Chain A
Amino acid sequence: MEVIKIENATRIYKTGKVETQALRGISLSIENGEFTALVGPSGSGKTTLLQLIGCLDLPTSGQVFINGKDVSKLNRNQRADVRRGTIGFIFQFFALIPTLTAYENIEMPLLLIGQSASERRKRVMELLESVDLTDRGHHRPDQMSGGEQQRVAIARALATHPVLILADEPTANLDTENGKQVMGIMQRLNQETGTTFVFATHDPRLFGYARRTVELRDGRVAQNNR
């Protein structure tokens, strides 16, 4: 079953009178449970494509379907509703809320979907264990290493059992060892839970982790290898 279906999507940014075409008619579909890498040089449109898939942005033209639902024309709050519980995000910067502990950061999406306190506790402990951070739950982001913070971000992305996890350059700010560890965890969770992962990278060392590679160039799909 297709988790993501994109039909001829374009995205044009306007800065004053200057128009920049970030995506020039992309069509792509990704099946449930795939572990896909979006690759390509800087400016090729990887991040823009991830933002469209993640309902963070809207295409200028064309359509984006998530789980069969057209999300191309939803308003800000409707898109937030789609993201909540359906899509998890892992960003290049360790996107944690600095005032919350690791435990509370992971708990946040569960609060948003209205889970009870006992369910939340159980799920957060489970996730902390799965990213090997059981003893770091009460630490705040500034008390953790970059690798640990990114693992917390992975746990948070998985918290609500989303069908899709999007990661934008998830290892860009990590050293090789931590990068490997993060990719290993993502790969393992994909295999264990069947969650669909799409990650953007321009680091050739990460290409090997993907079962499918979609190469973008100048806002178009240049290669699509399974």
Chain B
Amino acid sequence: MIQLFKMAFRDLGRNRRRSFFSALALAIGLALLLLMAAFIRGEMDGAMDSTIRLQSGHLQVRAQSYEEGKTSLKWEDLVENPDEVVGQIASLSQVKVATLRLFASGIVSVRDESTGVRIFGIDPLSEANDPYRIGLMSGEFLTPDDREGILIGQPLAEKLELKTGDRISLSVNTSNGDVDDQLFTIRGIYSTQTNGFDSVTVFLPLAKAQAITRAENHASTIFVLLKDKEQTDAVAADLQSLNYKVLTWTKMNELIIQTEDLANSYMVLLYLIVLGITATVIINTLIMAVFERTREIGILSAIGMRGPHIMAMFLAESTLLAVGGIIMGLILGNLVVAYFTKYGFYIGKMGLTMLIGNTIYAKLALRDAVNLTIIAFVITLLAGFYPAVLAARMEPVEALRGGQ
């Protein structure tokens, strides 16, 4: 076996440049796939992280009849006396923070322009709202007793050419089906670096949101963040006794999970395409080697080397090419991934409905790296089979004649 690999190594060394470029083709293919896998992983994890932080939390507690798509404000669809429920939830040891939120839909009008928005009534003092507070670009954050203040996102401000201190008209659907409108002063402009969220979401203090929607002492949801995401199911089970609907982050973000599954399926297809191309380079190299060494194959056969042994010799060459290419690919891939993990890849405002940040940071999972390495290795070995069989099936007489 050692002799086999020694011969294979020396044979590859006969045409160093050709062997190097074949291994390089595999290396570039693998590096590219590592980067792609890291981008997909980073994008999906980022989207999930943003969604949990900005929108879904780890858990939400809602009235049984609440339908998110309708942004219902009917009292029977809302959580009644929500402060009590929040208190109960917050007392659980696994809970980091629980806060009330009231959702409504509305229209912002300024001059002759108007645009639809989602209104988030929030408790400005809750640490669950830190992502919005931290993202404040100008002005101040809301205070609980502010009756005229509103916080809008940067893309909306740009679209409507608004700045802190400007006044806007906000029309809001109320719990009894009417529409109420009122002038608000922009206290601040925020950015969560997530265009899909920032361009449609405005914030009001919870009390004001409850007042304008006629939903006093009610909330659409209780937003819960846990100390450890893994505890979600355990806490959800504990909360079943409240007689409210308890939604977990996996349930609320099924679209992201399905998108991730879909992306993973596409990635497998992409793996096969890219590695298929590199495999043809390896096949080509080894076929050239077989034809160049026809006479040697004849000599080895003449001294009694069996077909399977000759085959093993060429498979050893493809194994060495695979190992060389994979080592180079892992080094190259990790360097590129490290760069994009640190600096990210700016994708701009994609206007997607999913909460994808403006910059995607690569995130290479060990599992992806191991899977890709194994797939690349197996495909390269399979690529070596055809040339190896070609060599093994040569008739010694023809092989000896062929080289002369």
Binding site for B on A (CB under 8 A): 51, 54, 56-57, 76-77, 79-81, 83-85, 88-89, 91, 93, 95-100, 108-109, 111-113, 156
Q: Does B395 contact A (CB under 8 A)?
A: yes
Nearest A residue to B395, CB-CB: A76
* A100 cross-chain contacts in B, Cβ below 8 A: 7, 10
User: A122 CA to B306 CA in the complex, in Å?
Assistant: 25
Given A56-B397, A99-B10: A80 and B404 interface contact (C-beta under 8 Å): no
A-B contact pairs, 11 of them (CB 8 A): A57-B395, A77-B306, A77-B307, A83-B302, A84-B305, A85-B304, A93-B295, A95-B295, A96-B299, A99-B11, A100-B7
User: A80 CA to B396 CA in the complex, in Å?
Assistant: 9
User: A189 CA to B308 CA in the complex, in Å?
Assistant: 33
User: Using an 8 Å CB-CB cutoff, how does the interface string of B304-335 with A read, 1 for contact, 0 for none?
Assistant: 11111100000000000000000000000000
Q: Does B300 contact A (CB under 8 A)?
A: yes
* A112 cross-chain contacts in B, Cβ below 8 A: 303-305, 309
Most chain-B CB neighbours within 10 Å: which of A80, A91, A112?
A: A80
Are B7 and A80 in contact, CB atoms less than 8 angstroms apart? no
Q: How many contacts A-B (CB < 8 Å)?
A: 71
* B11 cross-chain contacts in A, Cβ below 8 A: 99
Output the least CB separation between A93 and chain B (Å).
7
Output the least CB separation between B235 and chain A (Å).
66
Output the least CB separation between B9 and chain A (Å).
9
Are A80 and B296 in contact, CB atoms less than 8 angstroms apart? no
Output the least CB separation between B312 and chain A (Å).
12
Binding site for A on B (CB under 8 A): 3, 7, 10-11, 13-14, 295-296, 299-309, 393, 395-397, 400, 404
Are B400 and A80 in contact, CB atoms less than 8 angstroms apart? no
User: A54 CA to B301 CA in the complex, in Å?
Assistant: 11
Nearest B residue to A107, CB-CB: B3
User: A96 CA to B299 CA in the complex, in Å?
Assistant: 8
Are A80 and B397 in contact, CB atoms less than 8 angstroms apart? no
Are B7 and A83 in contact, CB atoms less than 8 angstroms apart? no
Closest CB pairs A-B (n = 4): A84-B304, A99-B10, A83-B304, A57-B397
Given A76-B395, A77-B307: A97 and B300 interface contact (C-beta under 8 Å): yes
* B301 cross-chain contacts in A, Cβ below 8 A: 56, 80
Are B299 and A80 in contact, CB atoms less than 8 angstroms apart? no
Known: A76-B396, A89-B302, A98-B296. 15 other contacts (CB 8 A): A56-B400, A57-B396, A76-B307, A80-B307, A81-B304, A83-B302, A84-B304, A85-B304, A89-B303, A91-B302, A91-B400, A93-B295, A93-B404, A99-B7, A108-B300
User: A56 CA to B402 CA in the complex, in Å?
Assistant: 14
User: A89 CA to B307 CA in the complex, in Å?
Assistant: 18
Name the contact of B304 in the complex, choosing from A57, A96, A98, A109 (C-beta under 8 A).
A109
Output the least CB separation between B300 and chain A (Å).
7
Are B10 and A95 in contact, CB atoms less than 8 angstroms apart? no
* B295 cross-chain contacts in A, Cβ below 8 A: 93, 95
* A77 cross-chain contacts in B, Cβ below 8 A: 306-308
Output the least CB separation between B299 and chain A (Å).
5
Are B303 and A83 in contact, CB atoms less than 8 angstroms apart? yes
Given A57-B397, A76-B395, A97-B296: A84 and B303 interface contact (C-beta under 8 Å): yes
Output the least CB separation between B38 and chain A (Å).
40
Name the contact of B303 in the complex, choosing from A81, A93, A98, A156 (C-beta under 8 A).
A156
User: A88 CA to B305 CA in the complex, in Å?
Assistant: 13
Output the least CB separation between A156 and chain B (Å).
7
Output the least CB separation between A135 and chain B (Å).
22
* A76 cross-chain contacts in B, Cβ below 8 A: 307, 393, 395-396
User: A81 CA to B308 CA in the complex, in Å?
Assistant: 12
Are A80 and B14 in contact, CB atoms less than 8 angstroms apart? no
User: A90 CA to B302 CA in the complex, in Å?
Assistant: 10
Output the least CB separation between A108 and chain B (Å).
6
* B13 cross-chain contacts in A, Cβ below 8 A: 99
Output the least CB separation between B162 and chain A (Å).
76
User: A85 CA to B308 CA in the complex, in Å?
Assistant: 18
Most chain-A CB neighbours within 10 Å: which of B7, B299, B404?
A: B299
* A84 cross-chain contacts in B, Cβ below 8 A: 303-305
Are A51 and B304 in contact, CB atoms less than 8 angstroms apart? no
Output the least CB separation between A102 and chain B (Å).
14
* B396 cross-chain contacts in A, Cβ below 8 A: 56-57, 76, 79-80
User: A72 CA to B340 CA in the complex, in Å?
Assistant: 66
Output the least CB separation between A81 and chain B (Å).
7
Output the least CB separation between B93 and chain A (Å).
67
Given A91-B400, A97-B299, A99-B10: A80 and B306 interface contact (C-beta under 8 Å): yes
Are A95 and B299 in contact, CB atoms less than 8 angstroms apart? yes
Output the least CB separation between B311 and chain A (Å).
11
Are B305 and A80 in contact, CB atoms less than 8 angstroms apart? yes
Are B397 and A109 in contact, CB atoms less than 8 angstroms apart? no
Output the least CB separation between B172 and chain A (Å).
82
User: A93 CA to B401 CA in the complex, in Å?
Assistant: 11
User: A83 CA to B298 CA in the complex, in Å?
Assistant: 13
Output the least CB separation between A30 and chain B (Å).
19
Name the contact of B302 in the complex, choosing from A54, A96, A99 (C-beta under 8 A).
A54
User: A216 CA to B396 CA in the complex, in Å?
Assistant: 23
Output the least CB separation between A116 and chain B (Å).
13
